[in-house]
A and B are shown apart, each in its own frame.
Chain A
Amino acid sequence: MKPEQIQKIKTPLIAALVLLAVVDIFVHGDHATFIWDSIPGFSAVYGLITTVLIIVVSKFLGHAFLMKPEDYYD
Protein backbone atom coordinates (compact mmCIF):
# COMPACT_ATOMS: atom_id res chain seq x y z
CA MET A 1 0.00 0.00 0.00
CA LYS A 2 1.18 3.51 -0.82
CA PRO A 3 1.47 6.13 1.96
CA GLU A 4 -1.34 8.27 0.49
CA GLN A 5 -3.65 5.23 0.36
CA ILE A 6 -2.85 4.49 4.00
CA GLN A 7 -3.63 8.08 4.94
CA LYS A 8 -6.97 7.77 3.12
CA ILE A 9 -7.96 4.91 5.43
CA LYS A 10 -6.36 6.26 8.62
CA THR A 11 -8.26 9.56 8.78
CA PRO A 12 -11.81 8.13 8.62
CA LEU A 13 -10.88 5.38 11.09
CA ILE A 14 -9.61 7.89 13.65
CA ALA A 15 -12.71 10.04 13.06
CA ALA A 16 -14.98 7.02 13.57
CA LEU A 17 -13.20 6.09 16.78
CA VAL A 18 -13.54 9.58 18.25
CA LEU A 19 -17.22 9.67 17.26
CA LEU A 20 -17.86 6.29 18.86
CA ALA A 21 -16.11 7.37 22.06
CA VAL A 22 -18.36 10.46 22.18
CA VAL A 23 -21.49 8.32 21.66
CA ASP A 24 -20.16 6.12 24.45
CA ILE A 25 -20.59 8.97 26.96
CA PHE A 26 -24.37 8.75 26.50
CA VAL A 27 -24.60 4.96 26.34
CA HIS A 28 -22.92 3.76 29.48
CA GLY A 29 -23.57 4.17 33.15
CA ASP A 30 -26.93 2.41 33.41
CA HIS A 31 -25.53 -1.12 33.53
CA ALA A 32 -21.92 -1.03 34.66
CA THR A 33 -20.76 -4.57 35.44
CA PHE A 34 -17.05 -3.85 35.54
CA ILE A 35 -15.13 -0.86 36.71
CA TRP A 36 -14.14 0.06 33.15
CA ASP A 37 -17.73 0.09 31.91
CA SER A 38 -18.11 3.62 33.22
CA ILE A 39 -15.18 4.93 31.13
CA PRO A 40 -16.36 6.25 27.75
CA GLY A 41 -14.14 5.06 24.93
CA PHE A 42 -12.63 2.28 27.02
CA SER A 43 -13.20 -0.27 24.24
CA ALA A 44 -11.40 1.90 21.72
CA VAL A 45 -8.35 2.33 23.95
CA TYR A 46 -8.38 -1.32 24.99
CA GLY A 47 -8.70 -2.39 21.35
CA LEU A 48 -5.68 -0.30 20.37
CA ILE A 49 -3.58 -1.54 23.29
CA THR A 50 -4.41 -5.21 22.70
CA THR A 51 -3.78 -4.94 18.96
CA VAL A 52 -0.29 -3.56 19.59
CA LEU A 53 0.26 -6.18 22.31
CA ILE A 54 -0.76 -9.08 20.07
CA ILE A 55 1.51 -7.91 17.24
CA VAL A 56 4.53 -7.20 19.43
CA VAL A 57 4.24 -10.20 21.76
CA SER A 58 3.54 -12.80 19.07
CA LYS A 59 6.37 -11.49 16.87
CA PHE A 60 8.69 -11.55 19.90
CA LEU A 61 7.71 -15.12 20.88
CA GLY A 62 8.07 -16.20 17.26
CA HIS A 63 11.52 -14.75 16.75
CA ALA A 64 12.80 -15.71 20.18
CA PHE A 65 11.55 -19.32 20.37
CA LEU A 66 8.88 -20.60 18.06
CA MET A 67 9.70 -19.88 14.43
CA LYS A 68 11.96 -22.34 12.65
CA PRO A 69 12.96 -22.93 9.02
CA GLU A 70 10.44 -24.99 7.06
CA ASP A 71 12.65 -28.07 6.81
CA TYR A 72 13.07 -28.24 10.60
CA TYR A 73 11.31 -31.62 10.98
CA ASP A 74 12.74 -33.22 7.81
Chain B
Amino acid sequence: MTGWIHPAAFFFIAAALLLFVKGKAKQGIILAAPALGFLSLLIAPEGDHGTTTFMGQQLIFGRVDRLSLIFGYIFTLMTFIGMTYALHLKDEKEHIAALLYAGSALGVTFAGDLFTLFLFWEIMAFSSVFLIWFKGGKASSAAGFRYLLMHIFGGLCLLGGIVIHAAGGGGIAFNALPHTGLGATLILIGFLLNAAVPPLHAWLADAYPEATVTGIIFLSAFTTKTAVYALVRGFPGMEILIILGAVMAVYGVVYAMLENDIRRLLAYHMLSQIGYMVVGVGIGSELARNGAVALAIANIVYKGLLLMGMSSVLFMTGKRKASELGGLYRTMPWTFRLFMIGGLSISGFPLLAGFVSKSMVVSAAAEAHHGWVFLLLTLASAGTFLSTTLKLPYAVFLGEDKKIAATDPPKNMLIGMGLAALLCVLMGILPGLFYRLLPFPAEYHPYTVAHLVESLQILCATALGFIFFLHKFHSENTISLDIDWFYRKGAAAFLWLAKLNKSFSSPER
Protein backbone atom coordinates (compact mmCIF):
# COMPACT_ATOMS: atom_id res chain seq x y z
CA MET B 1 0.00 0.00 0.00
CA THR B 2 1.31 3.43 -0.93
CA GLY B 3 -0.98 5.34 1.36
CA TRP B 4 -3.90 4.97 -1.07
CA ILE B 5 -7.35 4.73 0.52
CA HIS B 6 -10.17 3.28 -1.57
CA PRO B 7 -12.86 5.99 -1.77
CA ALA B 8 -15.52 3.33 -1.20
CA ALA B 9 -14.05 2.76 2.29
CA PHE B 10 -15.46 6.11 3.46
CA PHE B 11 -18.90 5.11 2.18
CA PHE B 12 -18.95 1.66 3.79
CA ILE B 13 -17.63 2.96 7.12
CA ALA B 14 -20.23 5.75 7.08
CA ALA B 15 -22.99 3.21 6.36
CA ALA B 16 -21.91 1.20 9.42
CA LEU B 17 -21.70 4.32 11.62
CA LEU B 18 -25.28 5.30 10.76
CA LEU B 19 -26.51 2.28 12.73
CA PHE B 20 -25.31 3.94 15.94
CA VAL B 21 -25.53 7.67 15.30
CA LYS B 22 -28.60 9.93 15.34
CA GLY B 23 -29.53 13.55 14.71
CA LYS B 24 -27.11 16.22 13.54
CA ALA B 25 -24.12 13.88 13.65
CA LYS B 26 -25.90 11.62 11.16
CA GLN B 27 -26.24 14.53 8.74
CA GLY B 28 -22.55 15.25 9.16
CA ILE B 29 -21.61 11.68 8.36
CA ILE B 30 -23.65 11.37 5.17
CA LEU B 31 -22.10 14.56 3.80
CA ALA B 32 -18.59 13.82 5.06
CA ALA B 33 -18.36 10.39 3.39
CA PRO B 34 -18.67 11.63 -0.22
CA ALA B 35 -16.65 14.77 0.56
CA LEU B 36 -13.75 12.71 1.96
CA GLY B 37 -14.06 10.25 -0.92
CA PHE B 38 -13.74 13.12 -3.39
CA LEU B 39 -10.74 14.62 -1.59
CA SER B 40 -9.00 11.25 -1.40
CA LEU B 41 -9.29 10.98 -5.20
CA LEU B 42 -7.68 14.38 -5.69
CA ILE B 43 -4.48 13.06 -4.11
CA ALA B 44 -4.71 9.48 -5.41
CA PRO B 45 -1.53 8.44 -7.23
CA GLU B 46 -2.07 6.71 -10.58
CA GLY B 47 -1.31 2.99 -10.75
CA ASP B 48 -2.57 -0.26 -9.23
CA HIS B 49 -3.26 -0.31 -5.49
CA GLY B 50 -4.81 -2.82 -3.13
CA THR B 51 -3.67 -5.89 -5.04
CA THR B 52 -4.06 -9.33 -3.50
CA THR B 53 -3.91 -12.92 -4.69
CA PHE B 54 -7.01 -15.08 -4.42
CA MET B 55 -7.20 -18.69 -5.69
CA GLY B 56 -4.16 -18.13 -7.85
CA GLN B 57 -5.60 -15.01 -9.49
CA GLN B 58 -4.49 -11.44 -8.99
CA LEU B 59 -7.26 -9.15 -7.71
CA ILE B 60 -6.85 -5.39 -8.08
CA PHE B 61 -9.15 -3.28 -5.91
CA GLY B 62 -7.67 0.04 -6.88
CA ARG B 63 -6.73 0.70 -10.48
CA VAL B 64 -6.32 4.46 -10.60
CA ASP B 65 -6.06 5.95 -14.09
CA ARG B 66 -7.69 8.86 -15.91
CA LEU B 67 -10.75 6.84 -16.88
CA SER B 68 -11.51 5.51 -13.40
CA LEU B 69 -10.66 8.85 -11.76
CA ILE B 70 -13.14 10.98 -13.71
CA PHE B 71 -15.96 8.55 -12.87
CA GLY B 72 -14.76 8.51 -9.26
CA TYR B 73 -14.97 12.31 -9.12
CA ILE B 74 -18.50 12.48 -10.46
CA PHE B 75 -19.79 9.56 -8.36
CA THR B 76 -18.53 11.15 -5.14
CA LEU B 77 -19.80 14.60 -6.19
CA MET B 78 -23.23 13.30 -7.10
CA THR B 79 -23.47 11.36 -3.84
CA PHE B 80 -22.79 14.63 -2.03
CA ILE B 81 -25.53 16.39 -4.02
CA GLY B 82 -27.97 13.48 -3.54
CA MET B 83 -27.26 13.37 0.20
CA THR B 84 -27.86 17.11 0.45
CA TYR B 85 -31.19 16.54 -1.28
CA ALA B 86 -31.98 13.70 1.15
CA LEU B 87 -30.74 15.47 4.29
CA HIS B 88 -34.24 15.95 5.73
CA LEU B 89 -34.96 12.21 6.00
CA LYS B 90 -35.55 11.11 9.58
CA ASP B 91 -34.92 7.44 8.83
CA GLU B 92 -31.34 6.29 8.23
CA LYS B 93 -32.36 3.13 6.29
CA GLU B 94 -32.35 4.92 2.94
CA HIS B 95 -29.04 6.62 3.65
CA ILE B 96 -27.43 3.27 4.45
CA ALA B 97 -28.71 1.72 1.22
CA ALA B 98 -27.58 4.75 -0.80
CA LEU B 99 -24.10 4.72 0.77
CA LEU B 100 -23.62 0.99 0.11
CA TYR B 101 -24.88 1.50 -3.44
CA ALA B 102 -22.64 4.51 -4.17
CA GLY B 103 -19.68 2.78 -2.50
CA SER B 104 -20.08 -0.34 -4.63
CA ALA B 105 -20.36 1.83 -7.77
CA LEU B 106 -16.93 3.20 -6.80
CA GLY B 107 -15.80 -0.40 -6.20
CA VAL B 108 -16.73 -1.26 -9.80
CA THR B 109 -15.04 1.88 -11.11
CA PHE B 110 -11.68 1.15 -9.49
CA ALA B 111 -11.73 -2.63 -10.02
CA GLY B 112 -8.74 -3.71 -12.12
CA ASP B 113 -9.96 -7.27 -12.57
CA LEU B 114 -13.23 -8.94 -13.53
CA PHE B 115 -13.81 -10.78 -10.23
CA THR B 116 -13.59 -7.63 -8.15
CA LEU B 117 -15.82 -5.90 -10.68
CA PHE B 118 -18.38 -8.70 -10.39
CA LEU B 119 -18.33 -8.58 -6.59
CA PHE B 120 -19.20 -4.89 -6.47
CA TRP B 121 -21.58 -5.22 -9.45
CA GLU B 122 -23.71 -7.57 -7.33
CA ILE B 123 -23.56 -5.41 -4.17
CA MET B 124 -24.85 -2.57 -6.35
CA ALA B 125 -27.92 -4.56 -7.37
CA PHE B 126 -28.71 -5.78 -3.86
CA SER B 127 -28.24 -2.42 -2.14
CA SER B 128 -30.06 -0.34 -4.77
CA VAL B 129 -33.24 -2.44 -4.68
CA PHE B 130 -33.93 -1.13 -1.17
CA LEU B 131 -34.19 2.40 -2.57
CA ILE B 132 -37.19 1.03 -4.47
CA TRP B 133 -38.66 -1.11 -1.68
CA PHE B 134 -38.47 1.62 0.96
CA LYS B 135 -41.18 3.55 -0.87
CA GLY B 136 -43.58 0.89 0.41
CA GLY B 137 -46.77 -0.38 -1.16
CA LYS B 138 -47.61 -3.16 -3.56
CA ALA B 139 -46.43 -1.49 -6.78
CA SER B 140 -42.99 -0.69 -5.41
CA SER B 141 -42.56 -4.14 -3.86
CA ALA B 142 -43.42 -5.90 -7.14
CA ALA B 143 -41.31 -3.53 -9.26
CA GLY B 144 -38.39 -4.06 -6.87
CA PHE B 145 -38.62 -7.84 -7.24
CA ARG B 146 -38.75 -7.58 -11.04
CA TYR B 147 -35.75 -5.24 -10.91
CA LEU B 148 -33.81 -7.64 -8.72
CA LEU B 149 -34.62 -10.68 -10.89
CA MET B 150 -33.46 -8.89 -14.02
CA HIS B 151 -30.22 -7.86 -12.31
CA ILE B 152 -29.63 -11.36 -10.99
CA PHE B 153 -30.03 -12.59 -14.56
CA GLY B 154 -27.57 -9.97 -15.79
CA GLY B 155 -25.16 -10.77 -12.97
CA LEU B 156 -25.24 -14.47 -13.83
CA CYS B 157 -24.51 -13.68 -17.49
CA LEU B 158 -21.58 -11.59 -16.31
CA LEU B 159 -20.24 -14.27 -13.95
CA GLY B 160 -20.64 -17.05 -16.52
CA GLY B 161 -18.89 -14.88 -19.08
CA ILE B 162 -16.01 -14.11 -16.71
CA VAL B 163 -15.51 -17.81 -15.88
CA ILE B 164 -15.60 -18.89 -19.53
CA HIS B 165 -13.33 -16.03 -20.56
CA ALA B 166 -10.81 -16.82 -17.81
CA ALA B 167 -10.91 -20.57 -18.38
CA GLY B 168 -10.26 -20.01 -22.08
CA GLY B 169 -6.95 -18.39 -21.22
CA GLY B 170 -8.19 -14.80 -21.28
CA GLY B 171 -7.18 -14.17 -17.67
CA ILE B 172 -9.23 -11.98 -15.36
CA ALA B 173 -7.59 -8.61 -15.94
CA PHE B 174 -10.20 -6.03 -16.93
CA ASN B 175 -9.02 -4.25 -20.05
CA ALA B 176 -10.37 -4.17 -23.60
CA LEU B 177 -12.05 -7.54 -24.17
CA PRO B 178 -12.31 -9.55 -27.40
CA HIS B 179 -15.33 -8.83 -29.63
CA THR B 180 -16.01 -12.50 -30.26
CA GLY B 181 -16.28 -15.70 -28.21
CA LEU B 182 -18.89 -16.90 -25.74
CA GLY B 183 -17.15 -15.57 -22.62
CA ALA B 184 -16.77 -12.00 -23.83
CA THR B 185 -20.28 -12.03 -25.32
CA LEU B 186 -21.83 -13.01 -21.99
CA ILE B 187 -19.82 -10.29 -20.24
CA LEU B 188 -21.12 -7.83 -22.82
CA ILE B 189 -24.72 -8.93 -22.18
CA GLY B 190 -24.18 -8.32 -18.46
CA PHE B 191 -22.88 -4.82 -19.20
CA LEU B 192 -25.68 -4.06 -21.68
CA LEU B 193 -28.36 -5.09 -19.20
CA ASN B 194 -27.08 -2.59 -16.63
CA ALA B 195 -26.76 0.06 -19.33
CA ALA B 196 -30.45 -0.65 -20.10
CA VAL B 197 -29.83 -1.23 -23.80
CA PRO B 198 -32.98 -2.55 -25.56
CA PRO B 199 -34.21 -5.29 -25.40
CA LEU B 200 -32.65 -5.52 -21.90
CA HIS B 201 -33.93 -2.15 -20.74
CA ALA B 202 -37.45 -2.54 -19.37
CA TRP B 203 -36.39 -2.90 -15.73
CA LEU B 204 -35.30 0.74 -15.64
CA ALA B 205 -38.53 2.49 -16.63
CA ASP B 206 -40.48 -0.13 -14.69
CA ALA B 207 -38.63 0.23 -11.37
CA TYR B 208 -37.12 3.72 -11.09
CA PRO B 209 -40.40 5.66 -10.84
CA GLU B 210 -41.47 3.28 -8.04
CA ALA B 211 -38.43 4.33 -5.96
CA THR B 212 -38.54 6.76 -3.05
CA VAL B 213 -38.49 10.53 -3.57
CA THR B 214 -34.76 10.70 -2.91
CA GLY B 215 -33.81 7.14 -3.94
CA ILE B 216 -34.38 7.73 -7.65
CA ILE B 217 -31.63 10.38 -7.65
CA PHE B 218 -29.03 7.77 -6.66
CA LEU B 219 -30.50 5.12 -8.96
CA SER B 220 -30.18 7.37 -11.99
CA ALA B 221 -26.55 8.18 -11.20
CA PHE B 222 -24.87 4.82 -10.70
CA THR B 223 -26.15 1.63 -12.33
CA THR B 224 -26.32 2.77 -15.94
CA LYS B 225 -23.23 4.98 -15.68
CA THR B 226 -20.99 2.27 -14.20
CA ALA B 227 -22.16 0.16 -17.14
CA VAL B 228 -21.14 2.93 -19.56
CA TYR B 229 -17.76 3.05 -17.81
CA ALA B 230 -17.42 -0.74 -18.18
CA LEU B 231 -18.32 -0.52 -21.88
CA VAL B 232 -15.78 2.26 -22.53
CA ARG B 233 -13.14 0.18 -20.80
CA GLY B 234 -14.10 -3.24 -22.13
CA PHE B 235 -15.63 -2.92 -25.59
CA PRO B 236 -14.37 0.20 -27.40
CA GLY B 237 -14.94 0.13 -31.16
CA MET B 238 -17.46 -2.72 -31.11
CA GLU B 239 -19.56 -1.90 -34.15
CA ILE B 240 -22.85 -3.43 -33.06
CA LEU B 241 -22.96 -0.86 -30.25
CA ILE B 242 -23.34 1.91 -32.85
CA ILE B 243 -26.58 0.37 -34.11
CA LEU B 244 -27.89 -0.50 -30.63
CA GLY B 245 -27.11 2.98 -29.33
CA ALA B 246 -28.67 4.86 -32.24
CA VAL B 247 -31.87 2.80 -31.98
CA MET B 248 -31.87 3.32 -28.21
CA ALA B 249 -31.55 7.11 -28.58
CA VAL B 250 -34.77 7.20 -30.61
CA TYR B 251 -36.57 4.47 -28.62
CA GLY B 252 -36.30 6.41 -25.36
CA VAL B 253 -37.65 9.56 -26.95
CA VAL B 254 -40.73 7.82 -28.41
CA TYR B 255 -41.67 6.36 -25.02
CA ALA B 256 -40.99 9.67 -23.26
CA MET B 257 -43.48 11.30 -25.64
CA LEU B 258 -46.21 8.87 -24.58
CA GLU B 259 -45.56 8.76 -20.84
CA ASN B 260 -47.84 10.34 -18.25
CA ASP B 261 -45.93 9.52 -15.05
CA ILE B 262 -43.56 12.47 -14.55
CA ARG B 263 -40.62 10.43 -13.23
CA ARG B 264 -41.15 7.54 -15.65
CA LEU B 265 -40.99 10.02 -18.54
CA LEU B 266 -37.52 11.05 -17.35
CA ALA B 267 -36.54 7.41 -16.81
CA TYR B 268 -37.50 6.61 -20.40
CA HIS B 269 -35.56 9.57 -21.56
CA MET B 270 -32.47 8.24 -19.78
CA LEU B 271 -32.43 5.46 -22.38
CA SER B 272 -32.15 8.04 -25.12
CA GLN B 273 -29.18 9.72 -23.44
CA ILE B 274 -27.39 6.43 -22.73
CA GLY B 275 -27.93 5.62 -26.42
CA TYR B 276 -25.56 8.46 -27.35
CA MET B 277 -22.95 7.09 -24.95
CA VAL B 278 -23.28 3.58 -26.36
CA VAL B 279 -22.82 5.02 -29.88
CA GLY B 280 -19.67 6.76 -28.67
CA VAL B 281 -18.25 3.50 -27.33
CA GLY B 282 -19.16 1.72 -30.58
CA ILE B 283 -17.42 4.29 -32.79
CA GLY B 284 -14.44 3.89 -30.47
CA SER B 285 -12.24 6.78 -31.66
CA GLU B 286 -10.59 8.83 -28.94
CA LEU B 287 -13.03 11.68 -29.53
CA ALA B 288 -16.00 9.31 -29.46
CA ARG B 289 -14.93 7.65 -26.21
CA ASN B 290 -14.22 11.04 -24.66
CA GLY B 291 -17.69 12.07 -25.80
CA ALA B 292 -19.26 9.00 -24.18
CA VAL B 293 -17.45 9.78 -20.91
CA ALA B 294 -18.18 13.53 -21.02
CA LEU B 295 -21.85 12.86 -21.70
CA ALA B 296 -22.03 10.31 -18.88
CA ILE B 297 -20.60 12.91 -16.48
CA ALA B 298 -22.88 15.71 -17.70
CA ASN B 299 -25.89 13.40 -17.75
CA ILE B 300 -25.39 12.33 -14.14
CA VAL B 301 -25.62 15.99 -13.18
CA TYR B 302 -28.52 17.23 -15.30
CA LYS B 303 -30.57 14.05 -15.18
CA GLY B 304 -30.13 14.16 -11.42
CA LEU B 305 -31.32 17.76 -11.44
CA LEU B 306 -34.39 16.96 -13.55
CA LEU B 307 -35.31 14.01 -11.35
CA MET B 308 -34.81 16.10 -8.20
CA GLY B 309 -37.23 18.62 -9.71
CA MET B 310 -39.91 16.04 -10.45
CA SER B 311 -39.30 14.23 -7.15
CA SER B 312 -39.86 17.57 -5.42
CA VAL B 313 -43.17 17.93 -7.25
CA LEU B 314 -44.16 14.43 -6.10
CA PHE B 315 -42.99 15.20 -2.55
CA MET B 316 -44.92 18.47 -2.25
CA THR B 317 -48.12 17.57 -4.11
CA GLY B 318 -48.32 13.79 -3.69
CA LYS B 319 -49.16 13.58 -7.40
CA ARG B 320 -47.13 11.75 -10.01
CA LYS B 321 -49.18 12.08 -13.21
CA ALA B 322 -48.73 14.94 -15.65
CA SER B 323 -52.48 14.81 -16.37
CA GLU B 324 -53.20 15.72 -12.72
CA LEU B 325 -50.65 18.55 -12.50
CA GLY B 326 -50.48 22.06 -13.92
CA GLY B 327 -49.85 25.68 -12.97
CA LEU B 328 -47.13 24.94 -10.40
CA TYR B 329 -44.86 27.75 -11.62
CA ARG B 330 -46.69 30.12 -9.24
CA THR B 331 -46.46 27.89 -6.15
CA MET B 332 -43.08 26.22 -6.80
CA PRO B 333 -41.11 28.95 -8.63
CA TRP B 334 -37.61 27.82 -7.62
CA THR B 335 -38.29 24.22 -8.50
CA PHE B 336 -39.51 25.41 -11.90
CA ARG B 337 -36.42 27.57 -12.54
CA LEU B 338 -33.93 24.92 -11.45
CA PHE B 339 -35.76 22.24 -13.42
CA MET B 340 -35.53 24.41 -16.53
CA ILE B 341 -31.75 24.77 -16.12
CA GLY B 342 -31.59 20.97 -16.19
CA GLY B 343 -33.99 20.89 -19.14
CA LEU B 344 -32.06 23.42 -21.19
CA SER B 345 -28.81 21.59 -20.32
CA ILE B 346 -30.06 18.23 -21.53
CA SER B 347 -31.40 19.82 -24.73
CA GLY B 348 -27.97 21.16 -25.59
CA PHE B 349 -28.47 24.90 -25.14
CA PRO B 350 -25.22 26.87 -25.49
CA LEU B 351 -23.49 27.79 -22.20
CA LEU B 352 -24.77 24.65 -20.47
CA ALA B 353 -23.43 21.13 -19.92
CA GLY B 354 -25.21 19.31 -22.76
CA PHE B 355 -23.88 21.60 -25.47
CA VAL B 356 -20.26 20.80 -24.64
CA SER B 357 -20.72 17.03 -24.15
CA LYS B 358 -23.47 15.57 -26.36
CA SER B 359 -22.03 17.29 -29.42
CA MET B 360 -18.74 15.41 -28.99
CA VAL B 361 -20.44 12.11 -29.78
CA VAL B 362 -22.36 13.62 -32.70
CA SER B 363 -19.14 15.14 -34.08
CA ALA B 364 -17.35 11.81 -33.68
CA ALA B 365 -20.16 10.15 -35.69
CA ALA B 366 -19.68 12.78 -38.40
CA GLU B 367 -15.90 12.31 -38.40
CA ALA B 368 -16.40 8.56 -38.85
CA HIS B 369 -18.81 9.33 -41.76
CA HIS B 370 -21.79 7.58 -40.19
CA GLY B 371 -24.47 9.68 -41.92
CA TRP B 372 -27.52 7.78 -40.69
CA VAL B 373 -26.20 7.77 -37.10
CA PHE B 374 -25.74 11.53 -37.29
CA LEU B 375 -29.31 11.95 -38.53
CA LEU B 376 -30.80 9.65 -35.87
CA LEU B 377 -28.90 11.33 -33.05
CA THR B 378 -29.96 14.75 -34.32
CA LEU B 379 -33.56 13.55 -34.42
CA ALA B 380 -33.18 12.33 -30.84
CA SER B 381 -31.86 15.77 -29.86
CA ALA B 382 -35.05 17.36 -31.16
CA GLY B 383 -37.04 14.69 -29.31
CA THR B 384 -35.13 15.44 -26.11
CA PHE B 385 -36.00 19.11 -26.21
CA LEU B 386 -39.59 18.25 -27.12
CA SER B 387 -40.29 15.66 -24.42
CA THR B 388 -38.16 16.70 -21.45
CA THR B 389 -37.93 20.45 -21.76
CA LEU B 390 -41.16 21.45 -23.50
CA LYS B 391 -43.84 18.80 -22.95
CA LEU B 392 -43.08 17.87 -19.33
CA PRO B 393 -42.60 21.30 -17.73
CA TYR B 394 -45.44 22.71 -19.82
CA ALA B 395 -47.80 20.10 -18.39
CA VAL B 396 -46.51 20.31 -14.81
CA PHE B 397 -45.61 23.96 -14.26
CA LEU B 398 -47.62 25.86 -16.90
CA GLY B 399 -50.60 24.43 -18.75
CA GLU B 400 -54.02 24.44 -17.16
CA ASP B 401 -53.80 25.75 -13.59
CA LYS B 402 -55.29 22.97 -11.46
CA LYS B 403 -55.08 25.16 -8.31
CA ILE B 404 -52.94 22.61 -6.47
CA ALA B 405 -51.82 23.72 -3.01
CA ALA B 406 -48.02 23.46 -2.91
CA THR B 407 -44.84 25.32 -1.97
CA ASP B 408 -41.21 24.91 -2.92
CA PRO B 409 -39.64 21.93 -1.12
CA PRO B 410 -37.46 22.15 2.05
CA LYS B 411 -34.26 24.18 1.80
CA ASN B 412 -31.90 21.19 1.64
CA MET B 413 -33.71 19.88 -1.45
CA LEU B 414 -33.44 23.27 -3.15
CA ILE B 415 -29.71 23.44 -2.28
CA GLY B 416 -29.20 19.97 -3.79
CA MET B 417 -30.86 21.14 -7.00
CA GLY B 418 -28.91 24.40 -6.88
CA LEU B 419 -25.58 22.56 -6.67
CA ALA B 420 -26.47 20.45 -9.71
CA ALA B 421 -27.61 23.53 -11.63
CA LEU B 422 -24.35 25.29 -10.76
CA LEU B 423 -22.35 22.36 -12.13
CA CYS B 424 -24.40 22.46 -15.38
CA VAL B 425 -23.51 26.13 -15.84
CA LEU B 426 -19.84 25.67 -14.89
CA MET B 427 -19.39 22.82 -17.39
CA GLY B 428 -21.07 24.91 -20.08
CA ILE B 429 -19.06 28.10 -19.62
CA LEU B 430 -15.71 26.51 -18.71
CA PRO B 431 -15.57 23.43 -20.95
CA GLY B 432 -11.75 23.59 -21.01
CA LEU B 433 -11.55 22.71 -17.31
CA PHE B 434 -14.00 19.86 -17.81
CA TYR B 435 -12.17 18.52 -20.89
CA ARG B 436 -8.86 18.50 -19.04
CA LEU B 437 -10.19 15.63 -16.92
CA LEU B 438 -11.26 13.49 -19.90
CA PRO B 439 -9.33 10.23 -20.26
CA PHE B 440 -8.19 10.32 -23.90
CA PRO B 441 -6.13 12.86 -25.82
CA ALA B 442 -8.59 14.36 -28.32
CA GLU B 443 -9.02 18.00 -29.33
CA TYR B 444 -12.57 19.34 -29.36
CA HIS B 445 -13.93 22.89 -29.57
CA PRO B 446 -17.65 23.18 -28.86
CA TYR B 447 -18.06 26.92 -29.39
CA THR B 448 -17.63 27.18 -33.16
CA VAL B 449 -19.98 29.33 -35.24
CA ALA B 450 -21.07 26.31 -37.27
CA HIS B 451 -21.98 24.32 -34.16
CA LEU B 452 -23.84 27.25 -32.60
CA VAL B 453 -25.84 28.01 -35.75
CA GLU B 454 -26.69 24.35 -36.29
CA SER B 455 -27.80 23.77 -32.67
CA LEU B 456 -29.89 26.92 -32.49
CA GLN B 457 -31.65 26.02 -35.73
CA ILE B 458 -32.66 22.62 -34.37
CA LEU B 459 -33.80 24.12 -31.05
CA CYS B 460 -35.85 26.92 -32.64
CA ALA B 461 -37.38 24.52 -35.16
CA THR B 462 -38.37 22.10 -32.39
CA ALA B 463 -39.90 24.90 -30.30
CA LEU B 464 -41.85 26.06 -33.34
CA GLY B 465 -43.13 22.53 -33.99
CA PHE B 466 -44.17 22.26 -30.34
CA ILE B 467 -46.12 25.54 -30.45
CA PHE B 468 -47.72 24.47 -33.71
CA PHE B 469 -48.90 21.12 -32.28
CA LEU B 470 -49.67 22.35 -28.78
CA HIS B 471 -53.23 21.02 -28.97
CA LYS B 472 -51.79 17.51 -29.36
CA PHE B 473 -49.91 17.67 -26.07
CA HIS B 474 -52.63 17.03 -23.51
CA SER B 475 -51.29 14.26 -21.24
CA GLU B 476 -53.18 11.02 -21.59
CA ASN B 477 -53.98 8.88 -18.59
CA THR B 478 -52.37 5.65 -19.85
CA ILE B 479 -49.39 3.37 -19.39
CA SER B 480 -47.30 2.12 -22.31
CA LEU B 481 -46.51 -1.50 -23.07
CA ASP B 482 -42.82 -2.35 -23.22
CA ILE B 483 -40.60 -5.42 -23.28
CA ASP B 484 -41.52 -6.14 -19.65
CA TRP B 485 -44.93 -7.23 -21.00
CA PHE B 486 -43.28 -10.52 -22.00
CA TYR B 487 -42.14 -11.44 -18.54
CA ARG B 488 -45.00 -9.87 -16.64
CA LYS B 489 -47.61 -11.64 -18.75
CA GLY B 490 -45.33 -14.62 -19.41
CA ALA B 491 -44.82 -15.31 -15.71
CA ALA B 492 -48.57 -15.16 -15.14
CA ALA B 493 -49.15 -17.64 -17.98
CA PHE B 494 -46.48 -19.92 -16.55
CA LEU B 495 -48.13 -19.93 -13.13
CA TRP B 496 -51.51 -20.61 -14.74
CA LEU B 497 -50.01 -23.59 -16.57
CA ALA B 498 -48.40 -24.84 -13.38
CA LYS B 499 -51.74 -24.70 -11.55
CA LEU B 500 -53.45 -26.42 -14.46
CA ASN B 501 -50.92 -29.24 -14.32
CA LYS B 502 -51.55 -29.66 -10.59
CA SER B 503 -55.29 -30.05 -11.08
CA PHE B 504 -54.72 -32.86 -13.59
CA SER B 505 -52.37 -34.90 -11.44
CA SER B 506 -54.19 -36.93 -8.80
CA PRO B 507 -52.54 -37.49 -5.40
CA GLU B 508 -52.90 -41.32 -5.50
CA ARG B 509 -50.17 -41.87 -8.12
Contact = CB atoms under 8 A, between A and B. Distances in A.
Do A and B come from the same complex?
yes
A48 B478 contact: no
A34 B371 contact: yes
B470 A1 contact: yes
Interface string A58-74: 11011001111110110
A17 B257 contact: no
A52 B467 contact: no
Nearest to B454: A43
A73 B491 CA distance: 12
Interface in A8-27: 9-10, 13-14, 16-17, 20-21, 23-24, 27
Interface stretch (B34-42, B147-155, B378-386, B403-411): B378-386
Contacts of B366: 33-34
Q: Which of B398, B476, B479 has the most CB of A within 10 A?
A: B479
A34 B362 CA distance: 13
Indicate the size class of the contact surface on chain B.
35 or more
B472 interface: yes
A66 to B, nearest CB: 5
A57 B472 CA distance: 12
A33 B367 contact: yes
A56 B479 CA distance: 18
B460 A20 contact: yes
B477 A54 contact: no
Query: Which DSSP category, helix, strand, loop or mixed, fits chain A's interface?
Result: helix
Contact of A51 (B386, B398, B453, B477): B386
Contacts of A73: 479, 488
Nearest to B449: A27
A69 B478 contact: yes
A72 B464 contact: no
Q: Which of B383, B453, B482 has the most CB of A within 10 A?
A: B453
A48 B459 CA distance: 9
Interface in B255-274: 255, 257-258
Contacts of A34: 366, 369, 371, 374
Interface string B464-477: 11111110100011
B254 A61 contact: yes
Interface residues of A, number: 43
Contacts of B462: 47, 51
B479 A44 contact: no
Contacts of B476: 62, 67
B51 interface: no
Given A21-B457, A48-B465, 17 more contacts: A10-B467, A10-B468, A13-B463, A17-B464, A44-B461, A47-B461, A51-B386, A53-B379, A54-B253, A54-B257, A54-B379, A54-B383, A58-B254, A62-B478, A62-B480, A66-B482, A67-B478
29 contacts: A10-B468, A13-B463, A14-B464, A16-B460, A17-B460, A27-B449, A34-B369, A34-B374, A43-B457, A43-B461, A47-B378, A50-B382, A51-B462, A51-B464, A51-B465, A53-B379, A54-B253, A54-B254, A54-B257, A54-B383, A55-B469, A58-B257, A66-B481, A66-B482, A67-B258, A67-B476, A68-B480, A69-B478, A73-B479
Interface of B: 253-255, 257-258, 366-367, 369, 371, 374-375, 378-379, 382-383, 386, 398, 449-450, 453-470, 472, 476-482, 488
